[in-house]
Amino acid sequence: MQVKDKVFAVTGAGSGIGKAIVVNLLGRGAIVAGVDLNKDALDDLVKEVGVKSDLLSTHVLSITDKKAVEKLPEEVVKAHQHIDAVINDAGIIQPFVKINDLDYDAIEKVMNVNFYGALYMTKAFLPLLLKRPEGYVVNVSSMGGFLPVPGQSIYGASKAAVKLMTEGLYAELADTNVHVSVVFPGATNTNISKNSGVATPEVSSNKSKQQSYPTLSPEEVAEIIVSGIEDNRPQIFTGKDSKMMNLLYRLNPVYATNLIAKQMKSLLSK
């Protein structure tokens, strides 16, 4: 799908990768409905894009509120006459603890935002996308969606659910006008920990120096994602780490699991 003049709804639009996606889309001539829980963040986004704000509408809501999400397509169509694509980027992580030490409120919050939020948005907009000459659904999963990460096991479970839901949707819509992509971001410099209300464990300088792959900026990730949309790629990997760990896990899942477990061991609180 060429994004110029297409109308996109983007969740998590107020910060991080979502914000960078909005800016990238607007730069390519797309029209965007930015969705976020944080009104101040959306207001800042409008100021940042400047004259391109004429191509941007903002919508403050929680994607975990099914009734609010069900009303959103009508609001977007009212603002932009139609909708061509949905990018479900909004997501949170869990506290860096083992499942045994993770309370149910945290578990439900992660699943509600990461999985049900993407599901609600997909189901709300899909009937309209199927009526367009060309439509698109993009769901952002994670490296944790295909590779187990101790201390983020429930986060990974939510993103694995997003992965399989999206891949199933791709198969279901293969003979329709709607394209489907799942995104697997590698390490990205965002404020997801702060937005999730989660303290980030400190990583020693030695471990930082041992990192094989650079952390990408949200802008770099957004460029890869939007370019992937224009190429209609079913799977979009945004970093060398994501690509390599996907390959390693496919070749030797036990070795890959133990490798990540060893790296995460010092970060777990217990």
- pLDDT (tens digit, 9 = 90+) per residue, 231-261? 999 999 999 999 999 999 999 999 999 999 9
232 assigned to some structural domain: yes
Residue pointed to by tokens 């949905």: 86
155 is catalytic: yes
Give the model's pLDDT for residue 209: 41
Residue 17 tokens, joined: 């990768």
**Cα atoms found within 13 Å of the Cα of residue 111, Cβ hemisphere only:** 10
Spatial distance between the Cα atoms of 68 and 62, rounded to a whole number of angstroms: 8
Is there a domain that residue 82 lies in?
yes
Specify the pTM: 0.91
List the domain range (segments joined by +) for residue 24: 7-267
In a domain? residue 68? yes
The average pLDDT across 131-150 equals 96
The reply to whether 75 falls in a domain is yes
| Confidence check: pLDDT of 105 > 90 | yes
Closest-CA residue to 162 (of 61, 90, 260, 59): 90
Tokens of 245: 């760990």
β-partners of residue 136 are 85, 179
Domain presence at residue 192: yes
pLDDT tens, residue by residue, 203-231 = 444 444 445 668 899 999 999 999 999 99
Please, are residues 16 and 44 in contact by the beta-carbon 8 Å criterion?
no
* Dist. CA 161–CA 146, nearest whole Å: 10
User: In this predicted model, which residue has the larger pLDDT, 215 or 181?
Assistant: 181
Contact 16, 218 (CB under 8 A): yes
Active-site option among 155, 170, 249, 255: 155
For residue 32, what are the β-bridge partners? Answer: 8, 56
Is residue 6 within 8 A of residue 76, CB to CB? The reply is no
Which has the closest alpha carbon to 135: 88, 89, 82?
82
* CATH for 232: 3.40.50.720
Residue 2, in any domain of the structure: no
Task: Reply yes or no on whether the pLDDT at 69 is more than 60.
Answer: yes
Confidence of residue 263 (pLDDT cuts 50, 70, 90): confident
pLDDT at 195 over 70: no
In a domain, 26, yes or no: yes
Specify the number of domains making up the chain.
1
Establish if 1 belongs to a structural domain.
no
pLDDT exceeds cutoff 90 at 28: yes
Q: Is 187 helix (H, G, I), strand (E, B) or coil?
A: coil
What phi, psi does 115 have (nearest 5°)?
-95, -60
Q: How far apart are CA 110 and CA 95, in angstroms?
A: 10
Report the candidate in 6, 5, 69 with the shortest Cα–Cα distance to residue 37. 69
